[in-house]
Amino acid sequence: MTSVLRIEDLHVSVEGKSILKGVNLEIKQGEIHALMGPNGSGKSTLAYTLIGHPKYEVTRGKIELDGKDLRDLDASQRARLGLFLAFQYPVTVPGVKVADFLRHAVSNVRNPDRKDGEPLISMREFRKELRQCMSELGLEPEFARRYLNDGFSGGEKKRMEILQLAMLRPRFAILDETDSGLDSDAVKVVSEGVNRLAGPNMGVLIITHHERLREFNRPHFTHVMLAGRIVETGDASLAHELHENGYAGVRARHPEVAAEENAEEGAMAASA
């Protein structure tokens, strides 16, 4: 059965400030969705809300995976159900080796009922799978022996997230501007990695401004967010239009939302 991630009338606040104001979105396994919008429109808020970051308060609406309500589940529980978030700025964890981190993560995600102290995935099985994934992604073996993101370049951090994606095999991957700050060569590596992993068993939500990431991962659906709402949905041609012409056309087609956007920007400027 094809899994479905469904967001319905989602309202989210951060520290009492309303950010998302009625988001509706449905993603099925095997689909690639692009989410675009100007800075501050709520894209990253949606990503962090879906994965269960405690800072983001759902004040109304639903987040369901195959009909199961996710709102009261923490991030680790959502990961066990098949959600994955690639961060815009991956964290550094000195002292924890990449291989050790991945072995624990894989064990917990593939065995959702595993408790502390219970055996991890066998070392032999894990090493075989890790070597295969790293080879397919063009990563040197010594990469697994380094500390997690410690001293990594921007491109290496993003490759690390693609390796996590390959090992965890989520049902839904959310990529929050995973191409941010990368040069063209690094974007190509990340894009090709996502393209290699995407398929019938994984739905992908790509939050990006970068045309090249969408070239390698052509979206089935493109969504435009303004002022905390998805105001338009189209195919890959909509993403190309936005890349070429910006958001002026979208704002002209949705003047009431554009006016709200301007009011919010004015309020922020006045309080600064």
- DSSP codes, 226-258: ETTEEEEEE-HHHHHHHHHHTTHHHHHH-HHHH
What's the predicted TM-score (pTM) here?
0.89
> Six-digit token pair at 48?
């962090």
pLDDT at 150: 93
pLDDT digits (tens, 9 = 90+) for 196-208: 888 889 999 998 7
Cα 8 to its chain centre, rounded Å, is: 18
Share of the chain above pLDDT 70, in %: 92
pLDDT digits (tens, 9 = 90+) for 156-182: 888 888 899 999 999 999 998 776 666
pLDDT at 212: 59
CATH of domain 4-88+170-271: 3.40.50.300
Nearest alpha-carbon partner for 2 in 51, 66, 82, 78: 66
| 3-class DSSP state of 139 | coil
CA angle in degrees (0–180, nearest 5) for 101-104-110: 130
CB of 218 closer than 8 Å to CB of 236: yes
Parts of the chain with a pLDDT under 50: none
CA angle in degrees (0–180, nearest 5) for 159-78-181: 30
pLDDT at 6: 98
> Within 10 A of 140 (CB to CB), how many other CB atoms are there?
10
Domain ranges of the chain: 4-88+170-271
Cα 24 to its chain centre, rounded Å, is: 17
Residue 200 DSSP symbol:
T
Reading phi first (left if > 0) and then psi (alpha if -120 to 50, else beta), residue 66 is in left
pLDDT at 180: 66
